[in-house]
Structure 1
Amino acid sequence: MEPHTGGATTPDSAPTLRMTRMLDLEQLEVELFRGFGVERSPMRVFGGVVAAQSLVAAGRTVPAGRLVHSLHAYFLRPGDPSVPIVYRVDPIRDGGSFTTRRVTAQQHGEAIFTLSASFHTPEDGFTHQLPRLDAPSPEDLPVTPGSMDDADELSRRWYSTLPERHPFEFRFDGELPRLATGRGERVAPRQRFWLRSREPLPDDPLLHRCAATYASDMLLLSSSLGLHGTTLDSRDLQFASLDHAVWFHGPFRADEWLYYDQEGTWAGGGRALCRGRMFNRAGALVVSVVQEGLIRQRPRVE
């Protein structure tokens, strides 16, 4: 197995976002937290940051020994990267084996994001999974995709800024749909890649699930656009994550390689539905994701 050195797989001259800093929330009261660590953000806070920090806040109020197994969230307003985000936790229920929490993320006196999460005491039960992992190992994939050499300027710039925007390293399995779009081609709405945190993470299982929650929002909506000849940074496209659901199926580490298989399964009415599955190196399905997002066409501004 390739050792984890913590190095970025894309140009490392730019400042990078640190996962551990992003997930380190300040506790203001028993059920009130404040998030920091959003470095080098664009005009709005990346949705994965708010989702991951919301799950940290929820998890910090849960009885010991209970692990998050699902979350359901709505993106309500764009986050302002210039100010902290306050997370208010509502302790909905503590049952015999399940705990439910609701989190509201706020800025400027308004809710920007809501999350409901369920935690479960681990127990034995029936086991099966479909489908199985069918992918090359990350070591068999290039650090920089060869297809990037012939990519259009917009795609090369997008790829070169990945270390600034996300605290993960990547190995892409096949050509990304956006590269075909740059050549004027239309391809199937699917993309696949290995990912892992650029820095080693503590052993706390909650932090690994929070890191995977961040990762679950990465590139997912873009998987819907291969058939339509456009990309998320096109001037004639307005996009946003609307609602997001994640299920956690078993133990994993986000600082070890996970294979993320993404599909855009439906589009219509200015929206798209995308599905994702994360597998660990052993082929176990460890995370399932579903997201609906806005992909609204608008008149091109010259």
Structure 2
Amino acid sequence: MHGLLGLEACTPGATHEFRGICCAGGPDRAYGGHIIAQALLVAHGTVEPTRHVSSLHACFLAMGRPDAEVRYRVRPLRDGGTYALREITAIQGDKELLALTASFKRAECGPDRHITMPCAPAPETLPAHGESVDRFWSRITPSSEIRRVVQVRPVIGDAVYDTVDSPGGRHRRMWVRFSGALSDDPVMHSVALSFCSDLTVARTAALGHLDADGGGTPAQWLFLASIDHAMWFHRPCRVDDWLLFVHHSPTSGDGRGLTSGEFWTREGTLVATVTQEVLLRKRRTAAAANRPALADVTIG
């Protein structure tokens, strides 16, 4: 994970400005989850070790290029008795890519409750290769580091068919984990979880929009781009063990779609919640379906 992040201070000894390089998501497009993860790691370095991330809220301002330097600037906003707040800006060249705020807190004792994990087949019973996995990776550049560091086991049927969990809604389930063992540092597991949180939520918002076009994948028929992304960290977990990632998309329209998701341990503990709004537009011509997805999309 440290090698994937590859952050270094812009100035020796600096604590508020770092630089790194992000891997590709789609063609000519940096993976947004990587930018979020690097921004969160930078912010973590400016708070006391006794505080851990409780939430983050990110707005994607522009598409980044993979394999090009991204600079991260941190501005402390608050250091209270329990909570601390940081603002992080990701910049590539003269263009701001991401504006993110992250909240950190000290642990507190008290009542603890959460809903029951949805039913899902165990990850060991699902194929590591096949149609469902190929569909999952269909929008990720074949050479991207994401394919090397993340393992996925989609629940068969959820990603192929538009499974209706309520009238007008869509949902799907998949198991995810980081390949290999991560360190015991909880910071690295929070960062790794944020890296995974942007993998597929946008495409879940697109489920149902493919019916009229005879199926296919979102990349063939739709422009998709993350607009904003929020995440709440409820409990610690290990991201090098399987986590169930459950998506729900309650609505789409007006060129936008909304998806929420939860991460669960295999023991049934709810560890994080994610919400994302995505740009969702149909391609204008049949010829456009053959162009690389999102290579020339500007949010707006």
Fold equivalence (TM over 0.5): yes
Q: Residues 85-143 of structure 1, C-alpha deviation per residue, up to 9 Å, x if partnerless?
A: 00000011111111100000001122110110000101112211123342222112222
Percentage identity across aligned positions?
A: 35
Corresponding residue number in structure 1 for 2:62 = 77
Corresponding residue number in structure 2 for 1:219 = 200
Pair 174,48 (structure 1): closer, same or farther in 2 beyond 3 Å: same
Corresponding residue number in structure 2 for 1:6 = none
Partner amino acid for 2:3?
R
**1 CA distance for matches of 2:35 and 2:174?**
23
TM-score, structure 2 length as denominator? 0.84
Q: Is the 8 A contact 1:192 1:260 kept in 2?
A: yes
Corresponding residue number in structure 2 for 1:246 = 231
Give the drift of 1:218: 0.5
Corresponding residue number in structure 2 for 1:7 = none
Pair 163,282 (structure 1): closer, same or farther in 2 beyond 3 Å: farther
Corresponding residue number in structure 2 for 1:232 = 218
Give the drift of 1:159: 8.4
**2 CA distance for matches of 1:98 and 1:275?**
25
Give the drift of 1:173: 1.4
Of the three residues 32, 57, 61, the one matched with 2:17 is 32
Q: Residues 154-184 of structure 1, C-alpha deviation per residue, up to 9 Å, x if partnerless?
A: 849828967845221111212243x34xxxx
Q: Counterpart of 1:233 in 2: which secondary structure?
A: helix
Cα RMSD, aligned residues only: 2.3
**1 CA distance for matches of 2:195 and 2:136?**
23
Partner amino acid for 2:156?
G
Partner amino acid for 1:257?
W
Corresponding residue number in structure 2 for 1:118 = 103
Q: Counterpart of 2:272 in 1: which secondary structure?
A: strand
Q: Counterpart of 1:228 in 2: which secondary structure?
A: coil
Q: Counterpart of 1:22 in 2: which secondary structure?
A: helix
Which residues in structure 2 correspond to 1:75-114 (within 5 Å)? Answer: 75-114=60-99
**2 CA distance for matches of 1:293 and 1:61?**
30
Pair 161,111 (structure 1): closer, same or farther in 2 beyond 3 Å: closer
154-163 or 94-103, larger mean C-alpha shift: 154-163
Pair 294,157 (structure 1): closer, same or farther in 2 beyond 3 Å: closer
Of the three residues 197, 222, 235, the one matched with 2:178 is 197
Of the three residues 3, 17, 20, the one matched with 2:2 is 20
Pair 21,209 (structure 1): closer, same or farther in 2 beyond 3 Å: same
**2 CA distance for matches of 1:289 and 1:238?**
21
Corresponding residue number in structure 2 for 1:8 = none
Corresponding residue number in structure 2 for 1:4 = none
Structure 2 segments unaligned to the other structure (5+ residues):
165-169, 288-300
**2 CA distance for matches of 1:39 and 1:299?**
25
TM-score, structure 1 length as denominator? 0.83
Corresponding residue number in structure 1 for 2:36 = 51
Q: Is the 8 A contact 1:21 1:37 kept in 2?
A: no
Q: Is the 8 A contact 1:187 1:227 kept in 2?
A: no
Pair 290,160 (structure 1): closer, same or farther in 2 beyond 3 Å: closer
Give the aligned length.
272
